[in-house]
Amino acid sequence: MGEGTLRGAAAIVGVADAVSPTGELDDHGRALEVRVVREALDDAGLTIADVDGLCCSGAPGGLAEHLGLDLAFVEGTFTGGSSFEVHVEHAAAAIAAGLCEVVVGVYAQTPRSDRRQGRQGGTPFPAGPNPILDWEAPHGLAVPVGAYALAASRHMAEFGTTPEQLARIAVDARSWAAANPSARFRDPITVDDVLASPMVASPLHQLDCCLVTDGAGAFVLTSAERANDLARAPAWVLGAATSSRHWMISEMPDLTTTAGAVSGPAAMALAGIKPSDVDVLLAYDSFTITALLHLEDLGFCAKGEGGAFVEDGHVAPGGTLPMNTNGGGLSYTHPGQYGMFLLVEAVRQLRGDAPGLQVDGATIAVAHGAGGFLSTMSTVVLGSEVTR
């Protein structure tokens, strides 16, 4: 299959998410998965009988059975928070190759209510040998915040990035969240508030860290032929790429450059766009440093200049590069694998029905997922009809 055939071969035609300002949802487990699958299919104007492909970030057999699906395409890749961008990439390629026609992707996790109600939950980390337990945990590395703190430390030492600059990312996320009624936190914060919040793992403070909330989401991806017949405006998959070269932080070759420096340009090249064409950037903000590295690696500013870029107000409401317009993992929701919500917000921005601040006339949105410990990066470029 040639590289160009993925562009425009598939579109996201339905999305749903379940998020609450309390951070907790009434449903959990299969009930929550079923709810968002149903809502995403309703949004698309399709039914469960149309579905011949399923994506989830773990063993998909049980979920497929629960939904009563008869599948031609099954995708259970787990790369942490970027899993869902990987799923869109793989599902779009499968649709382009004619393997399937209507693929549903789903995610639900409820760490906040699980903890309060004493339920088993948590991230489905793969079974088997885990070198993190042998070579990082015995040294007391706090997971995951310690890994990101080390990256922030290196970025500061190498480029002079300041705690104030990192804090600005949290402040801007909160400014976006202020307009989103579903967001966990909406009250404005200042750089001083971030710096005055308790230090967790230097140089990262509490407010440099993402939330821990319940949350769920789903998308429906289908072929160009089917997408054109549906009621909602399709969000076309213009490009997608993934790059992965380490898992644990001590194996990351250069802590100031992520695999996004490969996946981002590759996805944009496939889409035929450059960074300045992007109207909305949904860039996984597990921590403030995570989003800063994405800005540099995806080419929105030069390496080392992310701090100055955010300090200039580019990613705030009214800035040149609207970023994490729903409030992000820092202020909207973060159940553990936030990548699903990047896709949902990207689609809504392209349709013009964002729940918070709408970017006027957005035609190109990038969802950039980060998984593990700045590990597996996956970039999806979505576009409205005019970009196809």
Question: Catalytic amino acids?
Answer: 284, 332
Which residues contact other proteins by CB under 8 A?
129, 131, 133-143, 145-146, 149-154, 157-158, 198-204, 249-251, 255
Sheet (strand 73-75) strand order: 73-75, 53-55, 102-109, 215-223, 10-18, 235-243, 376-383, 364-371, 280-283
Cβ within 8 Å of residue 77, ≥6 positions away: 55, 57, 83, 86, 87, 90
- Least distance between other proteins and beta carbon 388 (Å): 42
Bond preceding residue 144 cis, omega within 30 of 0: yes
- Least distance between other proteins and beta carbon 207 (Å): 14
Between 4 and 131, CB nearer to other proteins:
131
Instruction: Classify burial at 76, counting beta carbons within 10 Å of its beta carbon; exposed 0-12, middle 13-18, buried 19 or more.
Output: middle
> Three-state SS for 387?
helix
- CA Rg, the chain, in Å? 19
- Least distance between other proteins and beta carbon 218 (Å): 32
Between 221 and 252, CB nearer to other proteins:
252
Phi, psi of 101 (to 5 degrees): -120, -40
Between 201 and 211, CB nearer to other proteins:
201
Report which DSSP code applies to 232.
Answer: S
Between 139 and 361, CB nearer to other proteins:
139
- Least distance between other proteins and beta carbon 125 (Å): 13
Q: Which two tokens stand for residue 96?
A: 């382009």
